[in-house]
Amino acid sequence: KKQLQDEMLRRVDAENRLQTLKEELEFQKNIYSEELRETKRRHE
């Protein structure tokens, strides 16, 4: 039973880390898109 609990905790921890990474990636993509738009606007 303890082993199952540990396994569940590791899994939840991994899923949380994955979610955090996905959110960080999304955030970086948004910043990049914004900077790209800004750059294009300046060169028009």
Q: Residue 44: its pLDDT value, please? A: 87
- CA 8 – CA 2 distance, rounded (Å): 10
pTM attached to this predicted model: 0.73
Question: Which tens digit of pLDDT belongs to each residue from 1-44?
Answer: 899 999 999 999 999 999 999 999 999 999 999 999 999 999 98
Return the percent helix, strand and coil in the chain, to nearest 5.
95, 0, 5
- Ranges of each domain in the chain: 1-44
Enter the DSSP assignment of 33: H
